[in-house]
Amino acid sequence: MELEKDSTQSKQHGGARPGAGRPKGSTDKLTARLLLETCQQVIGKPFEVSLLEGYRDAILNDDRRNRAVYEKMLLDKVSSTLIEAEVSESDDVITAKQAAFQEALAKLASLNDRAK
């Protein structure tokens, strides 16, 4: 037995709707810069100063748990910004890349000559 659908019921499932979403030109986005600037206005000093003062207090109060939290946070930030990757290639790889580049240039030149 099949149930009949009410023809007066409008289809409101899915799809775009007029007026939905963020208005054009809207700038109400939370950014890291805005968050740090607001922290400075509220606290009266830069966030990084406040962070380091909290770390210092944890050390002075012998609060090992919070000290470990601060150290992990600081080391994660420092290590992620200081990581350097060294890429080295053997002479064989360099020679193969040079040969491939010269071959590609030769093909481009021949295609250019044919087009003239």
- Residues 6 or more apart from 69 whose CB is under 8 A from it? 58
**Amino acid 90: pLDDT:** 85
Task: Give the burial string for 76-115 (b: 16+ CB within 10 Å, else e).
Answer: eeeeeeeeeeeeeeeeeeeeeeeeeeeeeeeeeeeeeeee
pTM confidence score: 0.45
**Amino acid 62: pLDDT:** 96
Q: Are 74 and 55 in contact (CB under 8 A)?
A: yes
Domain boundaries in the chain?
53-84
Residue pLDDT, tens place only, 54-90: 999 999 999 999 999 999 998 888 877 777 767 778 8
- The total number of residues written for the chain in this structure: 116
